[in-house]
Structure formats: C-alpha cells, structure tokens
A = this chain, B = another copy of it.
Amino acid sequence: MRTAIDPATAAGLVPDGASVMVGGFMGVGSPHRIIDALVARGARGLTIIANDTARPGVGIGKLISAGCVARAVVSHIGTNPETQKRMIAGEIAVDLVPQGTLAERIRAAGAGLGGVLTRTGIGTLVADGKVVLRVGGEDFLVEEALGADVALLAARTADYSGNLAYALTARNFNPLMAMAAKLVIAEPDEIVPVGVLPPDAVHTPGVVIHHLLERRRHG
C-alpha cells in the first residue's frame, strides 16, 4: 500500500538544490499539481531533468518563470523563450542532450547500467569530452547513466499499491523516470483499488513508487 499525500506535502519533499526529473513532453504527461505546489512553496536551485521546458505558463515552463530552476538537462528549449532569455542572462545553465540519448541515460540509471553506447552525437558537439568505443568496426559514444534525487510523474491511473498506467502520448519519459530516482512521487488522474488494473496493463510496477498524490478534491 502507498499513502496519498497532498500537493504541498509533495512539494515539501523536494529540497532546494535537488536534481528533479519531471515527466512530460511539452507539458503533456507532466505532474501539473505538484509543479504548482513547487512554485507556491518557492522552490529554488533545482536541476530539472526533462524532455523540454514546455512553454511559458505551461508545465515545467512555470518552474522556469518562477525562478525555481538553476539548471536544465533537456533535449530542447526552443519552445520556451523564457528559458532562452534566462540562459543568456546566466540565470539558468542548460545542458542539451539528444532526446534518444536522454531517454537511454535515464533508463540506464533505473536499470543499474553505467551507461550505453550510441551512434547519436558522433561527429557533433555532443561528443566533446566523451569516450568513444569501437564495436563491430563502428564508433559509438559512451553516454553515462543519469539518475536524480527525485522524480515527479504523471499517470492516467494508479492503484493503491502504486501500480501505474499511462495514456497515449502522456506516457513519454514517465516510466523511465519512475525507475531512476531515489524518491518517486506520482500524480495520477485517478486512483483505483488494487486488482482493478490487469497485470498486463500496468506500465510501472508500484514497488518503485514512494508516494501518490491524493485525488483532486472538489469544492
């Protein structure tokens, strides 16, 4: 069984200066209520690991605009002029990582791998300072595992034991990040009793989830 916590409690579990994985792709599949609570508590100095910084006012874009973020490890920032502005002003450091490499580095951390060998980035700025290994007559970059202190996820459905199922393109980085952080908090659209999700429909086993966000309360 997992316990359900409220957004302020969840935000309180994310210390200033922590490295934080945030699920989502342009805000789709991001844990919006936890993000709002992080902004409300005035989080500072976070290293955000995510696909992108969405747009101003959307998802991770809110963390950027509120000044919560010191560093962003992402595959692109082109959709958020605010991130670009703060990067140029020296307020946010940005590490750009090819999207597939970002996915594999996060997965590697969750799977106990030291890293993976990839063609992506060979002959580009991405290869600077990295080890190149020759396998089967071809050069591969060694890309190291990337873990985090905290992962903040969104899911379509959770059961009481923390098993998660995602919907459509809101899945994206969420199942990878679920495995790759020391503390994992998931914000599901709905929470159902144990046994409602069939074993083959679960995308993330509940054993890796530490907390669920309580369901949204009305009026």
Contact = CB atoms under 8 A, between A and B. Distances in A.
Interface of A: 104, 108, 111-119, 131, 133, 135-136, 138, 140, 142, 144-145, 165-168, 171, 199-201, 203
Contacts of A112: 118-119
Copy total for this chain = 2
A99 to B, nearest CB: 13
A165 B201 CA distance: 10
Contacts of A167: 200
Given A144-B135, A199-B168, A200-B166, A116 B113 contact: yes
Contacts of A136: 114, 144-145
| Interface SS of chain A | mixed
A82 B37 CA distance: 62
A142 B140 CA distance: 12
Contacts of A171: 200
Contacts of A165: 200
9 contacts: A104-B111, A108-B117, A114-B119, A114-B138, A115-B140, A116-B117, A166-B200, A167-B200, A200-B201
A203 B203 CA distance: 10
Most buried by B among A115, A117, A142, A203: A117
A82 B114 CA distance: 37
Contact of A108 (B114, B116, B133, B166): B116
Nearest to A138: B114
A8 to B, nearest CB: 31
B114 A133 contact: yes
A195 to B, nearest CB: 15
Most buried by B among A135, A167, A201: A135
Nearest to A119: B112
Nearest to A117: B114
A187 to B, nearest CB: 18
A114 B140 contact: yes
